[in-house]
Amino acid sequence: MNVYLKRCTDYNKAEEVLLPLLKKYSDKFKTGEKVLVKPNLLSPRQAETGITTHPKIIEVILKFLLDLGTKPYLGDSPATSTALEAAKANGIYDICKKYDVPLVELDEPVKVDGENYKGIMISKKVLEADKIINVAKLKTHVQMIMTLAVKNTFGCVVGKEKSAWHFRAKTNTNFANVLIDIHNIVNPTLNVIDGILGMEGNGPANGFIKRFNVIGVSENAYVLDHAIIKALNIKEKYVYITKEAMKRGLIPHYELESDWEGGKIKLPLTAPIFETVTNLTRIFERVPKINKNKCVACKICENRCPAQAIDIDNNKFIDYSKCIRCYVCHEVCPQDAIKLVRRLI
């Protein structure tokens, strides 16, 4: 099992760095195969925000697949919009047009059972693919602490079903196991992480843009995530998905080939970094709070809240007795109008 972490400081050099890595896996793709390319199209944001997969990365992957004679198509099911809107905002739409590659919404749900969780609504367009290339971003995540390759396959779950899983799972540990079940169903052939630009702080959408200067590739998303976490000096126990993957025996021994120096990252305020903070979080926990001056009453958060805890018409009220602290509202707010504040339990 190999993981490649290669330094890349500029999207204009992405082909130089990424293409040789992809070519190591050429024999995994056959002429005529339908290959789904699954980027991170979280919401309609420009590529320079570090929130969504950069079009230059997608261009290298599509050229690689077309040269092999496969039939690539690109798709996602974004949290707050359509794949088309998100792809237009970030530039992936233009790349798909340039190479005549279909851009699809990951809709048409098919019920699939995971190892622990049953009845997961995966898009038919995912299940119909012969192969999948999962193209994630390197970002922090207020609920899961980090969002990397394993978390990126959550976008294969259709539309609002994603919010419903937050509610069904209830705890972060359970939710990490839902994500692992989904990832194992999707089972990408190859995983790429675009970490040239990413996000730290309260990601995945409302943190700070961070230049990590790395591209990661592996056939195994668990070890790819693990290698990045280690390079960023993050303890595995803080990253729910990696912690649960370790418990489930999903992180095998791997060979790391890297010229990336890694470094430090500001984790979200929700991360239990020090024991004292962990103790404090038993009494105080982070809850979402709407900044009424910034809020434009678009109701995206209300529509996406899995616990129906938000009532924008009622003076932008959040019912904390219903709120399950999934922070979806914080993730989806396009105005960065939701803060995570400490509150006595």
Contact window for ligand SF4 (CB under 6 A) among 108-116, 195-203, 211-219, 308-316: 308-316
DSSP line for 69-115:
T-EEEEEE--SSS-HHHHHHHHTHHHHHHHTT--EEE--SEEEE--S
Write the single-letter amino acid at 59: E
* 301 is an interface residue for ligand SF4 by CB under 6 A: yes
* 335 is an interface residue for ligand SF4 by CB under 6 A: yes
d(CA 307, CA 179): 19
Q: Which of 250, 300, 313, 341 binds ligand SF4 (CB under 6 A)?
A: 300
Using the minimum distance from each CB to ligand SF4, give the nearer residue, 112 or 312: 312
* 19 is an interface residue for ligand SF4 by CB under 6 A: no
Cis peptide, bond prior to residue 204, ω within 30 of zero: yes
Structure tokens at 170: 């209830």
* 303 is an interface residue for ligand SF4 by CB under 6 A: no
Beta strands per DSSP E along the chain: 2-7, 34-38, 71-76, 103-105, 109-112, 120-123, 131-141, 145-147, 190-200, 208-218, 255-258, 284-290, 310-311, 317-318, 338-344
* 299 is an interface residue for ligand SF4 by CB under 6 A: yes
Using the minimum distance from each CB to ligand SF4, give the nearer residue, 79 or 217: 79
Q: Which of 127, 295, 311, 339 binds ligand SF4 (CB under 6 A)?
A: 295
Q: How far is the CB of 305 from ligand SF4 (least distance, A)?
A: 3
**CA dist 329 to 89, 284, 308, Å?**
21, 20, 11
Contact window for ligand SF4 (CB under 6 A) among 207-215, 264-272, 275-283, 298-306: 298-306
Contact window for ligand SF4 (CB under 6 A) among 43-51, 123-131, 168-176, 299-307: 299-307
* 142 is an interface residue for ligand SF4 by CB under 6 A: no
Q: How far is the CB of 136 from ligand SF4 (least distance, A)?
A: 22
Q: How far is the CB of 151 from ligand SF4 (least distance, A)?
A: 17
Question: Which residues 45-104 are close enough to bind ligand SF4 by CB under 6 A?
Answer: none
Residues with Cβ within 8 Å of 84's Cβ and at least 6 positions away in sequence, in order, are 93, 103, 105
Phi, psi of 331 (to 5 degrees): -65, -40
CA 328 to chain centre: 13
Positions that interact with ligand SF4 (CB under 6 A): 288, 290, 295-301, 305-307, 309-310, 312, 318, 323-329, 333, 335, 337-338
